[in-house]
Structure 1
Amino acid sequence: MTSEQQTLPGPICGSVDTNNEFSAFQAMLLDASKGVTEGMDAEYKWCDSITLKGTSKPPSEERGTYGHAQKMRAAMTYAFGWLHGLGDMPWHQSEVLGNSTMLGNPSMSVQVSSYMCALRHRKVQAGKVAISAHAITSEILSQLYHFNHLPNNWTIHPYQPGTRRPCDPNHHGQDDRLADWGGAWACRLLQAAYTIAFICLLRFDEVLKIQVHDINFMYDAAGTTTGMSITLPFRKTHQTGDIKPYFLWAFHQSEAHLCAVRAISEWIIASNITSGYLFRKIASGDRVAEANVPMSSEQFLEMFQNNLLDLNIDPAAYGTHSFRRGGCQYLHIERRWPLRKICEWGGWSQEFTNLTIVKYLISVNDDVMEAREDFFNPNRRPALKCPHCG
């Protein structure tokens, strides 16, 4: 209230009519809050640790994250700006002399911006800072590849309802490790999804919307598959079209765990999917759903985290965005791609006016590539090896 009163015009004449001024102020607030329900009002107040009276909320009361508050503000900005036609100008008083009309978008006022900064400060003090998903590495993808390719996990057995996948009696020891969360269909689907998200730097909502007709395979004179092109039907940064295709070639055998051409070819052959969504929902019995229903991000994340548990890796730090971040670091550090080339491949702006690409390359929770004491150590072992010659 105090902040909003500061935006009100002062008395034009010497007299002050408090009642009329407060009535105008109240009418302004009521007009700006049209359509705000009690539930929405509770959502606005849910993220903060203090009440509107300035008192602290009890620790037992659940509170939303700073990211939730950002989404709420974004929703308000869109509603005021586009649905109510107030545009994207900051909330300000008309500059016309004698005109006290407030113009612009209330969600973009100085007061709301100051409040969001203060809210983030309180979240930082409380130790509730949002941490980005841990980047997946090529080494972890190699471990997942070899685990999923174990005979018990890769061989497709005839499905019989109510039975468990049989173990191969000819294999013992590590080869007997079984992915109890899913079978050969799930392992093949995951391998295809892992590689395409990692190499093409895709968000997983983009991966799961790929359909069979979006993929075109390339062959040599002998009819052997040498590569493929993928044209996404939708991209967050290209909502009006002009989406450039991804051209992928078969990797060397030493990098088979990163080869999307191999993984997708094996998945299409095994699943016999000829049309519709490429990554479909896994139904009961480790079978692909017959209906053209795309896999949900929740189902993929659950299977991915179970796959990490098979390797005794804590999945809490990993999410669907881990592949986009990890692929970015792989192209820059291991493939030695320059930043401009990564931006063009991944769909980031090449004007470098924002630091999104840097956030993907550098994070406090990523693995340390080289110990500090070895920076200038002439006898240090190389941090990375060539995947072809070692």
Structure 2
Amino acid sequence: MASISATLPKNIEIPPSPKRSHHADPSGRSFAKRQRKITDRSLEQERRDDGDNEDEDEDEDAEDEDEDEDEETEDEDEGIIGTDGVADADLDAAVSLVQHQHQIHKEGQSTASTPNDIEDLFNVEELHEQTVYRYKLKLVKFDEFLREKEYWTNEKTVFDVDLNEVPQETPRYIQHWIGEACDPAFIEKSNQPRKQARSFSTASQMLGAIKWGFSRDTRRSSTWIWDAKSEAFTGNPAHCVKLARYMNSLHRKKTANGECATSSRAINGYHMQQLSDHLNGWLRNNADLDRSSQRSQDDWGGPLKRFSTYLIGLIAFRCLLRTCDVVKLTMDHLSFEPLNGDRTHVSIQPWTSKTQQTGSVEPFDFFLETDEKLLDFCIVRALHRWLKMSGIRQGNLFPKIYGYDSMQDSERGPPTSKTDFLKNLRCSLQDIGETPSKFTIHAFRRGGTQFLYEVLKFNLIKILQWGKWSTKLTYATILRYLIADTDLMKTPRSLIMYPNRA
């Protein structure tokens, strides 16, 4: 078996394995300290912008919503916020905004009587901070709606009162709130002029925020039903049969009108092979290209931008990671160690992920691929090639690249953003003749799952373990990843039972 010196460039320096703490903060600052830097003004600006920008990323949000609902807490997806800094909005600002708008506190009232339960409500770690931020904004809007319609007059919000104080008609209030924003039939009957109804993805996000808001109390994690013993309704008002029927009805309306977004196609092994072949061909043909050379309009990036785009996608594809987690990787997340003296081993261990915010993410271990069919999918070779090409030894693994091919300092500059990667991915897909609109950045996670099952022959338990899904098999997440109506069938139906089929 080939050694590392025979299979990798000799002049590449393998970084030593860093000593890192699983619970360390990469930025060196506590989460609370970073939160305090966000002012009331930034939150109010985001609340104004939220209504205008909410639909921009709904297709991608809808996919993640379905996945997150089935993973651990049945929560819908995060929304993409305009800038990374605003996503850390201060909780106190959100609470004070609600208190100010509804004049909860009367003059001379003691601050000791201010309801603080809402802080505990939002003090959770299993969700991404951007997801928590977007949910907080929607809960603030729902509280405003209840008070505007005079459905709720209590000083506390409906999310932090005792279980028996939640109104029996809360599911109807939720339906009214969603319908007023997303249901064309409801808006048409309304006397107030309103803009065009929002999509079903927005309706799902609104319902998901309410589910999350009530589910912080473990007594509200079940279905909203009548309890004969206490003679009151118990459970989560958002988990109501009538409300579920309404959402199904709304989905049918949206589908009939052609408004429902479909899931993106998976970027499978064939696409990754095409991207790799095109990238290698482009690098060979442009080996002597410098920045001052004349470039065509179709030349969207240089070697660094093109290879980083491919490597981000490859890591997301092989690790089943979200690209928002991949672009934030640093050199501290990598360790290169020879195992058994004959194979090169690399370990990728993010400190946190979207669904694991406590630093308990297990590492992804890869080895040098020797099968010729898997050479283009080799994480070890791709990482060593990127480190040699970029010269990165510390800091961000994927620094932001401006213009044609100007890479920022990996230690001081920002990492590549999710938006920048999506733009570069669309250009890469156009290069291989694919339609970019059919794919999103979540397509790597879908395609990687199919790659493990079809090419590497993983069983379902191994796929669930590798992708960090629940092994209880109580949800259908894995089926939606393996079976999607948006992915092309490889075998015509008439040939499925052909005797000499492959």
Query: Hey, what does 1:8 align to over in structure 2?
Result: none
Residue 274 of structure 1: aligned partner: 393
Change (3 A) 1:128 1:285: closer
Q: For 1:257-288, what per-residue CA distance to the aligned partner results, in whole angstroms no more than 9, with x for missing partners?
A: 21111111111222122222212211124122
Structure 2 unpaired stretches of 5+: 1-148, 159-175
- Report the Cα offset of residue 369 of structure 1: 1.9
57 and 315 in structure 1: CA distance in 2 versus 1, 3 angstrom threshold: farther
Match of 1:69 in 2: 203
In structure 2, the CA distance between the partners of 1:56 and 1:184, relative to structure 1 (3 Å rule), is farther
* Aligned 1:119-198 pairs, distance under 5 A: 119-152=250-283, 160=291, 163-164=292-293, 180-198=299-317
Paired residue for 2:368, among 240, 243, 250?
250
**In structure 2, what is the Cα distance between the partners aligned to 1:33 and 1:43?**
22
Higher relative contact order (CA 8 A, sep 6+): 2
Asked whether the 8 Å contact 1:332–1:338 carries over to 2, the reply is: yes
Distance 1:277 1:42, change over 3 A: farther
Structure 1 gaps, min length 5 = 1-25, 36-40, 167-176, 383-390
- Quickly say closer, same or farther: Cα 1:288–1:85, change in 2 above 3 A: same
Partner of 1:113: 244
1:91, 1:221 → 2: CA distance? 56
Q: Which of 161, 168, 183 is matched with 1:48 structurally? A: 183
Deviations 1:17-38 (A, max 9, x none): xxxxxxxxx8654449969xxx
Give 3-state SS (helix, strand or coil) of 2:261's partner.
coil
For 1:361, the equivalent position in structure 2 comes to 482
Alpha-carbon contact 2:220-2:234 (below 8 Å) kept: no
C-alpha separation in 2, matches of 1:235 and 1:138: 24
Identify the range of structure 1 (314-323 vs 84-93) with the bigger mean alpha-carbon deviation.
84-93
Cα 1:295/1:56, change in 2 over 3 Å = farther
1:317 to 2:438 alignment: yes
- Are the counterparts in 1 of residues 339 and 345 from structure 2 also a CA contact under 8 Å? no
The separation in 2 between residues aligned to 1:154 and 1:189, in whole angstroms, is: 18
Deviation at 1:303, TM superposition (A): 0.5
Question: Match for 1:199: what amino acid?
Answer: R
Moved more, 352-361 or 132-141: 132-141
Residue 371 and residue 113 in structure 1: after superposition, are their counterparts in 2 closer, same or farther (change >3 A)? closer
Aligned partner (choices 344, 353, 376) of residue 226 of structure 1: 344
Q: Report the 3-state secondary structure (helix = DSSP H, G, I; strand = E; otherwise coil) of the residue aligned with 1:226.
A: strand
Counterparts in 2 of 1:229 and 1:155: CA distance versus 1, 3 Å: farther
- 1:16 is matched with which residue? none
Q: 1:197-256: CA deviations, max 9, x gaps? A: 11111111121122111111123798x872211112112343334322111012234422
Change (3 A) 1:254 1:154: farther
How do 1:20-99 and structure 2 match up within 5 A?
28-31=151-154, 45-51=180-186, 54=189, 61-82=195-216, 87-88=220-221
- Once residues 361 and 186 of structure 2 are traced to their aligned partners in structure 1, the CA distance between those partners, rounded to angstroms, is 47
**In the alignment, is the contact (CA less than 8 A) between 2:349 and 2:361 conserved in 1?**
yes
Partner-residue secondary structure (3-state), 2:422: helix
Q: CA deviation at 1:94?
A: 7.3
1:5-52: CA deviation from partner (whole Å, max 9, x where unpaired) = xxxxxxxxxxxxxxxxxxxxx8654449969xxxxx988622211226
Change (3 A) 1:42 1:92: closer
Q: Contact conserved, 2:464 with 2:471, CA < 8 A, in 1? A: yes
- Quote the sequence identity (%): 28
How far apart, in 2, do the equivalents of 1:221 and 1:29 lie? 66
Q: CA deviation at 1:365?
A: 1.2
Deviation at 1:293, TM superposition (A): 1.0
Contact kept in structure 2, 1:153 and 1:187, CA below 8 Å: no
| C-alpha deviation, 1:316, in angstroms | 0.9
Distance 2:206 2:335 in 1: 41
CA distance in 2, matches of 1:375, 1:56: 56
Q: Give the structure with higher Rg (CA).
A: 1
CA–CA separation in structure 1 for the residues paired with 2:221 and 2:366: 41
CA 1:338/1:242 → structure 2, altered by over 3 Å: closer, same or farther?
same
Q: Which deviations, in whole Å up to 9, do the C-alpha atoms of 1:298-349 show, x marking residues without a partner?
A: 1111101111111121111111111111111111111211111111111111
